[in-house]
Structure 1
Amino acid sequence: MHSIGEVAKILGISTHTLRYYEKEKIIIPVRDARGDRRYNDTHIKWLQFVIKLKETQMPIAKIKKYASLVLEGEHTTLERLSLLEEHKDSIKKQIRTLKAADEMLEYKIVAYKDFISKRD
């Protein structure tokens, strides 16, 4: 079991973020006899997944919805699948947008380098 500080360090996030996720019921840590938050390896894996969802622009409201469906149990599998498929489609759109932006930037960079090399 890990403390909140240890988990924050492992995941590269703040303890404030972990407390926020708990407040929003995205994660439910175990409490020890003193009432301190304790996290096991399953919590850490779950948080790694949550962080990836956040990094790929899934809104907190949808992450909360997904987390609540997980807690509800197996009968929510189809709804969870639908949420993840929808998010995957969103990621694919992001990738297309980023690739197009990368191509435009590459074109501009080459043009500037060409211009500079002809000046010299």
Structure 2
Amino acid sequence: MYSIGETAKLVGLSTYTLRYYEKEKIITPHRNANGEREFDEQHIAWLRFVIRLKATQMPVAQIREYTELFLAGEHTAPQRVELLQNHQAFIQEQLQNLTSVESELQYKIENYEKLIATSVK
């Protein structure tokens, strides 16, 4: 079992964020006899998944919805798949946008490099 501080260091989040995720019912740590939060390996794995979802711009409300569906049981698998498929489509759209912007940036960089090369001579 890990304390909240140890967990924060392991997953790269602040203790404030862990408390926020608990408040939002995204994670439910165990409590020891003193009422202190304790996290196990399953919590760590779950938090790492949540971090990846956040990195792809999934809103906390959607992460909470996914969490609620997961905790409700296997019968919610179709809704979870739909939620993840919708987010995957969002990610694919973002990738297309980023690829387009990256191409434009590369074009600009090449033109500036040519301008710099010709003005240096």
> For the residues of structure 2 that align with 1:29 and 1:119, how far apart are their CA atoms?
62
Identity of aligned residues (%): 51
> For the residues of structure 1 that align with 2:2 and 2:67, how far apart are their CA atoms?
21
- Match of 2:26, SS? coil
Instruction: Extract structure 1 runs of 4+ deviating beyond 6 A.
Output: none
> TM-score under structure 2 normalisation?
0.97
What is the root-mean-square deviation of aligned Cα atoms in Å?
0.6
Q: Does 1:99 find its partner at 2:87?
A: no
Corresponding residue pairs, total: 120
Gaps of 5+ in 2: none
> TM-score under structure 1 normalisation?
0.98
Q: After TM superposition, give the deviation of residue 92 of structure 1 in Å.
A: 0.6
Alignment correspondent of 1:90:
90
Return the letter of the residue paired with 1:2. Y
> For the residues of structure 2 that align with 1:5 and 1:102, how far apart are their CA atoms?
39
Alignment of 1:3-14 (within 5 A): 3-14=3-14
> For the residues of structure 1 that align with 2:57 and 2:31, how far apart are their CA atoms?
30
> For the residues of structure 2 that align with 1:32 and 1:13, how far apart are their CA atoms?
22
Alignment correspondent of 2:49:
49
Return the letter of the residue paired with 1:52. R
Q: Give deviations 1:14-47, integer Å, cap 9, x for gaps.
A: 0000000000000000000111100000000001
Return the letter of the residue paired with 1:85. Q
> For the residues of structure 1 that align with 2:3 and 2:110, how far apart are their CA atoms?
50
